[in-house]
Chains A and B, each alone.
Chain A
Amino acid sequence: MSFKKIFGSLFVFSILNVSLHAQTTDLGNIHGNFQIDAANYQRDTIIGADPGSEVFRYNAFGNINYTKGGFSAGMRFESYNPPLIGYLAGYKGSGVPYRFARYQHKDIDITVGNFYEQFGSGITLRAYENRGLLYDNALDGMRVIFTPKNGITLKGLVGKQRTYFSLSPGVVRGLDGEVNIMELFDSVLGNYKTKVIIGGSFVSKYQVDQDPTFVLPENVGTSAGRISVLRGGFNFNAEYAYKINDPSLQNKLSYKPGQAIIASTSYGTNGFSVMLAGKMLDNMSFRSDRDATNTIAMINYQPDLSKFHTYSLMAYYPYGTQANGEVGGSAEIQYKVKKGTLLGGKYGMDITLNGSVFYALDTIGILPIKDTLRQYKYSTNYGNVGDEFYHDLNIEITKKLSKKLKFTLMYANQFLNQSVVQFNTLDKDEHPDIKTHIGVLDVTYKYKSNSAIRFETQGFFGAYDYKDAKYESNGELNKKNNTGSWISGLIEWTPNTHWSITIADQYNYNNPIVAKRVHYYFGMIGYTNGPTRISVSYGRQRQGIFCAGGVCRFVPSSSGLSINISSSF
């Protein structure tokens, strides 16, 4: 046994020792989690899946945290050699990109190292992670949260953002203050039923200007103010933000200042709720690297108000916030039909109506007049809207028929201006508008107290708008980016609380190209025990659009065997 190995086992032993002792003495706790998603891909020419020569790929991470009283410290090891198909290739590598130490005591909370944070709705700052999507904009620096008095929260931070396994070039500095008026004046307003919370934030970034032509602003600031009013089931939230000129690769070097308004209101009572939300975003993309694309170095979050669909064909053409600007909104009504009524039956029935629509801003291109080096590029007419980007109108009904049987029925009508939204081009010939009708039926039959079988079927009926499409030399319409209609079926069997078996198929039954009318079969076996979950799956994954954090990207087809393991301790 080499010295290294002995040392390694001693190290592991000492960690285990500390943690075992932790249960009886006050040495603190060690805890964490890990997840490994690995796949062995195969070439599958009929669906266009080609993993290249790197057929084995994986995404893996493990967190180890230590806590004792108000002190905590932790780190995350991550490894992608290379990442799974569909994830950003820049993550290739291994390392410890996340480590922190934090101390919380009474009115003070200090973090050094990496941290995640959000100010208000996130329009000025949101350092965020979603491990499943491999989206991680953690800040590396320090943060102080100070609560001088009940009802007042002050936050200050400075740091650089994670970019793959290194840091983005710009420095981010932020301040946020929030006052809960009823809590602050508790003695006078404590019994008041209406709660009012106001807040404000200021975030700036610094990045050196090395551009030979343009005079790029090195310090760019964004400020925002927000208000929330809450009373019983009633809720109102609004935030306004303004950003000074911030020319970037994303906004094609426009010097126009950015503005955003986000507002939502909702009311809920037993069995009924209504929610309305609206937003106007104009040139609010804010990154700590002005040359970054995709989800890299995003300082803020431009909220997406479209429904987050979980049925795969409902999410075939998802929408993502348009980073350079858009206007739109969403509405949702939920209603629970009471038990004992004609529609409600013995168990009642849930109905959800949801709709959202988003448009381009109404803009006019302007030519540089005096200063050719600082170009606005366009002006916005806030009284009007431009072309439609997307809409989604859907209804979902869930009903329990008996103790054993329940179902969900769903229908959606969607529209997507895919040339602009997904491909950033006006070429409707290559990427025609898409109009679809989508239906889902999902039935669960619980045949024993902990055994169930679930059937799901979906239909996706696409109509492609070829009004601008050109004819090819052979006299046929260009239908390259039209996959036609799909149907799918799924059976999921959970014989007991540990095991689950799923088989599914998506069939592209009327693809305009006959050779592409293929089945995308998929099978999975899953095992769960307490916090541990292991699954093995095999099958085809169709190409599609993947949206996260307001950015949509194309995910190519893949085919192969996958293993997923996750646990926490």
Chain B
Amino acid sequence: MKNLITLSIALILCSAFVKSDGNKIPSAELKKLDGSKINSSTFSNNGKPIIISFWATWCKPCKKELDAINEEYAELQKETGAKLIAISIDDARSSGKVVTDVKVKGWTYEVYIDENQDFKRAMNVNNVPHTFLVDGNGQIVWSHNSYAEGDEEKLFENVRKLAKGEILSH
């Protein structure tokens, strides 16, 4: 028990000092919907912000969040030039459903499958949904775990700030 307390205090201290701010997107192999491969370290958007959202076909809050973003996505893209990359963590049981879900929902996001969960591990994602914001220099500057109704408003606000070159705080 004592070890556990020490560990948690040490980790909380670490997290307080070393936020994810400033980390570049780590390298991991992902699968595109057409079966070809892409490395996450090549993600770029011509100096504009990128939203990276981890989801799964069986995760209700994830789909709610992506649907909510989708309603304003075209407008947000036009205004800020931002794009969203949706990373499915579905394993072999359900990865076949990713493409059908995306098509039915009419999502226009870039969607990749992280079947071996290498990218999830590299990004330190515990649970989905988990959403990250990457600035124009490819630095991860903000992240948020879980989804509650209206969370997308905060995300849009942050994307707009980033597009204007402002610095974000949690």
Task: Report the Cα distance A64→B13, complex, angstroms.
Answer: 13
Task: Report the Cα distance A15→B26, complex, angstroms.
Answer: 20
Task: Report the Cα distance A157→B151, complex, angstroms.
Answer: 43
Task: Give A499 Cβ to nearest chain B Cβ, in Å.
Answer: 9
Task: Report the Cα distance A22→B18, complex, angstroms.
Answer: 10
Q: Are B1 and A565 in contact (CB under 8 A)?
A: no
Q: Does A45 make an interface contact (CB < 8 A)?
A: no
Q: B93: which of A34, A35, A269, A308 is its contact (CB, 8 Å)?
A: A308
11 more A-B residue pairs beyond the given contacts A16-B18, A275-B100, with a C-beta to C-beta distance below 8 A: A29-B24, A31-B18, A34-B11, A77-B7, A235-B96, A274-B100, A275-B96, A529-B170, A531-B143, A533-B146, A568-B126
Task: Report the Cα distance A23→B24, complex, angstroms.
Answer: 10
Task: Report the Cα distance A81→B1, complex, angstroms.
Answer: 8
Q: Are A33 and B125 in contact (CB under 8 A)?
A: yes
Q: Which residues on the B side are within 8 Å of A230 (C-beta)?
A: 33-35
Q: Does A457 make an interface contact (CB < 8 A)?
A: no
With A128-B91, A530-B142 known to touch, is A497 a contact of B148 (CB < 8 Å)? yes
A-B contact count (CB 8 A): 218
Q: Are B150 and A449 in contact (CB under 8 A)?
A: yes
Q: Does B97 make an interface contact (CB < 8 A)?
A: yes
Q: Which residues on the A side are within 8 Å of B34 (C-beta)?
A: 195, 230
Which 7 residue pairs spanning A and B have beta carbons closest together?
Answer: A450-B150, A268-B103, A452-B149, A273-B100, A569-B15, A33-B124, A568-B124
Q: B15: which of A266, A304, A532 is its contact (CB, 8 Å)?
A: A532
Stretch at the interface among A116-124, A162-170, A241-249, A291-299: A116-124
Q: Which residues on the A side are within 8 Å of B17 (C-beta)?
A: 16, 19-20
Q: Does A277 make an interface contact (CB < 8 A)?
A: yes
Task: Report the Cα distance A532→B20, complex, angstroms.
Answer: 12
Q: Are A132 and B11 in contact (CB under 8 A)?
A: no
Task: Report the Cα distance A11→B60, complex, angstroms.
Answer: 42
Q: Are B7 and A268 in contact (CB under 8 A)?
A: no
Task: Report the Cα distance A565→B145, complex, angstroms.
Answer: 12
Q: Does A419 make an interface contact (CB < 8 A)?
A: no
B1-22 interface with A by 8 A CB criterion:
1, 3-4, 7-8, 10-15, 17-22
B114-154 interface with A by 8 A CB criterion:
115-118, 121-127, 130, 142-146, 148-151, 153-154
Q: Which residues on the B side are within 8 Å of A52 (C-beta)?
A: none
Task: Report the Cα distance A237→B11, complex, angstroms.
Answer: 43
Q: Which residues on the A side are within 8 Å of B15 (C-beta)?
A: 532, 567-569
Q: Which residues on the A side are within 8 Å of B7 (C-beta)?
A: 34, 60, 62, 77, 79
Chain B residues with CB under 8 Å of chain A are 1, 3-4, 7-8, 10-15, 17-24, 26-27, 29, 33-37, 58-60, 91-94, 96-97, 99-106, 115-118, 121-127, 130, 142-146, 148-151, 153-154, 170
Q: Are B92 and A272 in contact (CB under 8 A)?
A: no
Task: Report the Cα distance A448→B149, complex, angstroms.
Answer: 9
Q: Which residues on the A side are within 8 Å of B26 (C-beta)?
A: 67, 72
Q: Which residues on the A side are within 8 Å of B13 (C-beta)?
A: 12, 16
Q: Which residues on the A side are within 8 Å of B118 (C-beta)?
A: 116
Q: Are A126 and B92 in contact (CB under 8 A)?
A: yes
Q: Are A131 and B126 in contact (CB under 8 A)?
A: yes
Q: Which residues on the A side are within 8 Å of B143 (C-beta)?
A: 530-531, 568
Q: Which residues on the B side are within 8 Å of A94 (C-beta)?
A: 3
Task: Report the Cα distance A318→B144, complex, angstroms.
Answer: 31
Task: Give A505 Cβ to nearest chain B Cβ, in Å.
Answer: 21
Task: Report the Cα distance A228→B33, complex, angstroms.
Answer: 12
Task: Report the Cα distance A19→B19, complex, angstroms.
Answer: 10
Chain A residues with CB under 8 Å of chain B are 12, 15-16, 19-20, 22-23, 29-36, 56, 58, 60, 62-65, 67, 70, 72, 77, 79, 81, 94, 104, 116-118, 121-122, 126, 128-129, 131-132, 145, 153, 180, 183, 195, 197, 228, 230, 233, 235, 237, 264, 266-275, 277, 301, 303-305, 308, 310, 332, 334-336, 350, 444, 446, 448-452, 494, 497, 500, 526, 528-533, 565-569
Task: Give B119 Cβ to nearest chain A Cβ, in Å.
Answer: 12
User: Can you list 26 A-B contacts with CB-CB less than 8 angstroms, sorted by A residue number?
Assistant: A15-B14, A16-B13, A16-B18, A19-B14, A32-B14, A63-B121, A64-B14, A65-B122, A65-B124, A67-B26, A67-B122, A79-B3, A116-B118, A180-B37, A264-B96, A266-B100, A270-B104, A273-B104, A274-B100, A301-B91, A332-B97, A528-B144, A532-B145, A567-B15, A568-B123, A568-B143
Q: Are B103 and A269 in contact (CB under 8 A)?
A: yes
With A301-B92, A568-B124 known to touch, is A528 a contact of B4 (CB < 8 Å)? no
Q: Are A23 and B124 in contact (CB under 8 A)?
A: no
With A277-B96, A336-B104 known to touch, is A528 a contact of B146 (CB < 8 Å)? yes
Task: Give A472 Cβ to nearest chain B Cβ, in Å.
Answer: 41
Q: Which residues on the A side are within 8 Å of B92 (C-beta)?
A: 118, 121-122, 126, 301, 303
Q: Which residues on the A side are within 8 Å of B93 (C-beta)?
A: 303-305, 308
Q: Are B145 and A533 in contact (CB under 8 A)?
A: yes
Task: Report the Cα distance A171→B98, complex, angstroms.
Answer: 34
Task: Report the Cα distance A497→B13, complex, angstroms.
Answer: 24
Task: Report the Cα distance A494→B146, complex, angstroms.
Answer: 12
Task: Report the Cα distance A65→B20, complex, angstroms.
Answer: 12
Task: Report the Cα distance A528→B142, complex, angstroms.
Answer: 14
With A62-B7, A530-B145 known to touch, is A451 a contact of B36 (CB < 8 Å)? no
Task: Report the Cα distance A385→B21, complex, angstroms.
Answer: 57
Q: Which residues on the A side are within 8 Å of B150 (C-beta)?
A: 446, 448-452, 494, 497
Task: Report the Cα distance A448→B148, complex, angstroms.
Answer: 12
With A264-B96, A530-B170 known to touch, is A451 a contact of B18 (CB < 8 Å)? no
Q: Are A60 and B144 in contact (CB under 8 A)?
A: no
Q: Are B148 and A450 in contact (CB under 8 A)?
A: yes
Q: Are B116 and A116 in contact (CB under 8 A)?
A: yes
Q: Are A20 and B18 in contact (CB under 8 A)?
A: yes
Q: Which residues on the A side are within 8 Å of B106 (C-beta)?
A: 270-271, 336
Q: Which residues on the B side are within 8 Å of A500 (C-beta)?
A: 148
Q: Are A104 and B27 in contact (CB under 8 A)?
A: yes
Q: Are B104 and A568 in contact (CB under 8 A)?
A: no
Task: Give B68 Cβ to nearest chain A Cβ, in Å.
Answer: 10
Task: Give B23 Cβ to nearest chain A Cβ, in Å.
Answer: 5
Q: Which residues on the A side are within 8 Å of B18 (C-beta)?
A: 16, 19-20, 22, 30-31, 569
Q: A273: which of B35, B37, B103 is its contact (CB, 8 Å)?
A: B103
